[in-house]
Each structure stands twice: as C-alpha cells, then as structure tokens.
Amino acid sequence: MARIVSLFILMLVLWLVMSGHGEPWLLALGVASAALVAWIARRLDSVDHEGHPLHLTWRGLGYWPWLAVEIVKANLDVARTILAGPGAVAPAVFKVKASQSDDLGRTIYANSITLTPGTVTMGVDDDGSLTIHALNAGAREGLETGDMDRRVCVLMGDR
C-alpha cells in the first residue's frame, strides 16, 4: 500500500510541477489523473520493488547527484573528443563485471552507463558482465576503475 500512495504522490507532484496551474478545476483534474495512474499501476501489478523502488529513495539521494556530475563530465569529454578531430575518436567494445546481486541493480548500472555520454551498454550476459561500447579511451578507463559499479552496489545495499 505504501508503494501505491508513494506513486500517487509522485505522479501528483510531477503533474503540479509540469502543469504550473493552480486553478481548482485543473488541480482536481491533476488529482484525478494521479489517482488513475496509481489505480492502473495497481491493477497491472507493476508497483513492486522493481517498478517503483521505494526502498532506494534515501540511498538514491547520494547516487543521483553523483551520476548527474558524471554525466556533465562525460559531456565535456565527448565535446573535447569531437573538437579534437577524427583522430581522437578511438571506439572500443569491452566487458565490465557487474557486482550487483539482483537484476534491478544490474539494470541501474547498465542504464547509468548508457546515460553517461560516450558509453553505451550493448548487452548483459548471464554471468553478470556487461558489454560496453566506448567512444574513446577516457570513457573506457572511467568504467574500468569500477567506481560506478561500487556506487551502484552501495545504492542497492550490496556493499
């Protein structure tokens, strides 16, 4: 029940932020929309620990800002690579080990890699390793340090 209420509140806040309206009729429509989304999600049985990972809320407060900074740094690295010319582009396909203990953790790790410019997760193997495409050596080296893997493990509580 806590996940349904949380989803309703999240949808309502998202609606309020995106609409920017405060008229009573529009607020009522926003509440109705958020309630409808929560009801449909409950009927579809998609409000579980993967579909709405409420248990990651507090640990995520440390991870998501770190990821945002990494995305900005990777954007700058990609821009430098592009401005340096064709010789600076050195694409590579390689594998990294995902240390997370469950599918949700590996999914967050794979998506975090893909969100970071210059890298794309191409696949996840049965043994938990990820196949990555990197634009240049800097992107590859950044992943091979294992910092992102470690931080996702902390986010998931896998320490």
pLDDT in tens, 68-125: 999 999 999 999 999 998 888 999 999 999 999 888 889 999 999 999 999 999 999 9
The whole-model pTM stands at: 0.76
Task: Count how many domains the chain has.
Answer: 2
The verdict on residue 127 lying in a domain is yes
Q: Are residues 28 and 97 in the same domain?
A: no
One domain for residues 29 and 96: no
119 shares a domain with 70: yes
Residue 105 lies inside a defined structural domain of this protein: yes
Structural domain of 87:
56-156
pLDDT for 45-82, tens place per residue?
877 766 667 677 788 889 999 999 999 999 999 999 99
For residues 107 and 32, membership in a common domain is answered with no
Same domain, 127 and 151: yes
**What type of residue is 153?**
C
| pLDDT (0 to 100) of residue 52 | 63
Q: Are residues 33 and 60 in the same domain?
A: no
Let me know whether 10 and 86 are in one domain.
Answer: no
> What is the rounded average pLDDT of the residues 29-44?
91
Q: Based on the domain organization, do 79 and 107 belong to the same domain?
A: yes
Q: Are residues 80 and 25 in the same domain?
A: no
For tokens 């949380």, the residue is 6
